[in-house]
Amino acid sequence: MKKCINSGLHWCLIIVALSLVACHSRGKAAEKPEKPKEKDIVIQPEALSVSIVRNIETTLEFVLASDGVLNDSMVLAKDSLVNEIYAKRSFEPVWSTQEKWLPLSDSLLEFIGRAREYGLFQSDYHYRILQNIRKKTIEDTLGRKDAALWSRGEILLTDAFFRMCYDLRKGRLPYDSVTLRKDSMNTQAYLGLFDTLWQNKDVAGLMHALEPKHVAYDSLKAALQTFLQSAEPLKKYTYVPYPAVNTPEYYNILKQRLFEEGLLESPFDYLDTTSMKLVVGKYQRKKGITETGKLNAGTVSSLNNTNWEKFKRIAITLDRFKLLPDSMPTTYIWVNIPAYRMRIVDSGNVALESNVIVGQPKTRTPLLTSNVSNFITYPQWTVPYSIIFGEMLPKIKANPDYLRKQNLMVVDKNDSVMNPDSLNWKKFNKNNFPYLIKQRQGDDNSLGVLKFNFANKYAVYLHDTNARWLFSKENRALSHGCVRVREFLKLANFLVRNDTIRFPPDTLRNWITRQEKHVVSGFPRVPIFIRYFTCEVKDGDIKFYNDVYGEDRVLSERYFDNKAL
């Protein structure tokens, strides 16, 4: 019995020991690869070539296990693609040979040096590090013999190539619900670009082939070169949020910005309220702003209207072109929210332009793509529930006569008109309102005398307005979300321009004069794009529009504010 117990104990100990060995082995297997050497000086040329290959392989093994991180200053964006290139070539160098960088590497580095001309940032492509590596491997005797240095240069240059291809093709903004450019580039396609580069030896040509094919994109990119020449040296400035917040953190930001402007000797000096007013007033005087000493919207806008902020907005706009389809339709309607403009493009030419009114920041006009399918003269407006509960119901409860003054009627589910005086308005709320509110057609209708319909989930449309004087305002973010069109009649005539039998000249104008309601359809549907582009080229210069919804600021904070210059 004792023998059996001892025997069992013996086997248990063996099993435990084997388990510990297995665990230790698994732990060792899961360990991160050894960090690559910082330096690997090899004197003999033959041995140097072998060491470069070994360094490339071990460095990539480490990078892949570290999610692209080589060290604090070197992170590979496309580590898997880089590894594929070298693994296929047995980790032999591709940009250099026999202690010399190949001419194609010079071309790529030169292209990276001009990254700003494409709305890109040199720092995303290891530019300074690559310059330093090349300087050391060319000018420094020990650097020329450093296998670790050559291997890092190789890997970083390949990563820079793939990231630049990716950024010129897809951009840096995330694809969203209105993105129309199809992402046809997979891993094999990007690897194919590398082969194409080595076949044609044309860096600029390959990169240009990846860019959007839009005239407006090319115009903006061309104007960017002129902008960069006038903006040199491009310098980063602190962004000042608005409205102002009375907190120490906010005033530290403001002091930093005023220091950058040369108005403070140090951003760390204490300033009381009076001193701050004097400095702000000095800035206002310097910029020709009404001197109040107070931090108002105009002053903050001036502080933020730097070439650095403009460059980021250009970069964002260039990337927004990368979300459009590879080719636009022959005929389409383009509404640019920040510009407050609508444009009809027909066979590459602008057939019509019009001022528009768009949604207020709290009731934004949505970005969308659709097709204008019909339009209605003397339309009736069914008020959206969001407006009923958000604006109208409190006013009606206060005074039911509000409905009559606004030419509004209440209808039930059978479209029967209700007497508003007979309804108990106090009991109605957003959970209890079994009616619709409609506005009678006529010149005082909020939709004006013409409405254009296109399918969308937001229940918005293009239309005329009964407040046409608002088109003369500079800030035209005034609507509840729909787009009001100043040249509504020209737009309608354009849609039916090819159907002169049904619509002889002045037909639509005569209907409106006679206040006749007509639903017009049967014309070829015209695509409509409602987009958000805060800059474009006008007469050869870049025109910047107000970031009315703060979309550029959000994207800038998320993707570009921390970029190194």
pLDDT tens-digit map of 313-346: 999 999 999 999 989 999 999 999 999 999 999 9
pLDDT of residue 453: 97
Mean pLDDT calculated for residue range 527-534: 98
pLDDT of residue 16: 40
pLDDT over 80 (residue 24): no
Contact status, residue 143 vs residue 152, Cβ threshold 8 Å: no
Helix 147-169 crosses helix 45-65 at what angle (to 10 degrees)?
50
pLDDT of residue 29: 44
What percentage of the chain exceeds 70 in pLDDT? 95
Q: Residue 392 contacts by C-beta under 8 Å, 6 or more apart in sequence? A: 383, 402, 408, 437
pLDDT of residue 5: 42
Cα separation, 316 vs 553, whole angstroms: 10
463 is known as an active-site residue? yes
Q: Where are the beta strands (DSSP E) in 421-505?
A: 436-439, 450-454, 462-463, 477-479, 483-485
Q: In terms of DSSP bridges, do strands 518-520 and 368-377 run parallel, antiparallel, or are they unpaired?
A: antiparallel
pLDDT of residue 45: 84
Q: Where are the beta strands (DSSP E) in 412-565?
A: 417-418, 436-439, 450-454, 462-463, 477-479, 483-485, 518-520, 526-531, 535-538, 541-544
pLDDT of residue 148: 96
Cα separation, 262 vs 435, whole angstroms: 62
Mean pLDDT calculated for residue range 487-494: 98
pLDDT tens readout for residues 512-530 = 999 999 999 999 999 999 9
Cα distances from 34 to residues 61, 92, 370, 553, in angstroms, run 9, 20, 55, 42
Residues of the chain with CATH 2.40.440.10: 328-380+441-533
pLDDT over 70 (residue 150): yes
pLDDT of residue 340: 98
Catalytic residue from among 165, 463, 480, 535: 463
pLDDT over 90 (residue 7): no
Cα separation, 486 vs 50, whole angstroms: 72
Angle 360-364-369 from CA coordinates, rounded to 5°:
140
pLDDT tens readout for residues 226-242 = 999 998 888 999 999 99
H-only helix segments in 232-305: 248-260, 273-287, 297-304
Mean pLDDT calculated for residue range 477-505: 96
pLDDT over 50 (residue 389): yes
Mean model confidence pLDDT for the chain: 91
pLDDT of residue 30: 53
The model's pTM:
0.88
Two tokens at 315?
């970069």
pLDDT over 60 (residue 17): no
pLDDT of residue 155: 98
pLDDT of residue 33: 87
388-397, 418-427, 446-455 — which one is most confidently predicted on average?
Answer: 446-455
12 is known as an active-site residue? no
pLDDT tens readout for residues 342-364 = 999 999 999 999 999 999 999 99
What is the CATH topology of the domain spanning 328-380+441-533?
A: L,D-transpeptidase catalytic domain-like (2.40.440)
Mean pLDDT calculated for residue range 77-93: 97
Mean pLDDT calculated for residue range 95-121: 96
Burial class, 360, CB count within 10 angstroms (exposed 0-12 / middle 13-18 / buried 19+): middle
Catalytic residue from among 165, 480, 482, 535: 482
Mean pLDDT calculated for residue range 201-220: 96
pLDDT tens readout for residues 274-295 = 999 999 999 999 999 999 999 9
pLDDT of residue 13: 42
pLDDT over 60 (residue 447): yes
Cα separation, 70 vs 395, whole angstroms: 64
Contact status, residue 173 vs residue 323, Cβ threshold 8 Å: yes
pLDDT over 70 (residue 15): no
pLDDT of residue 260: 95
Q: Which of 277, 245, 243 is nearest to 258 (CA)?
A: 277
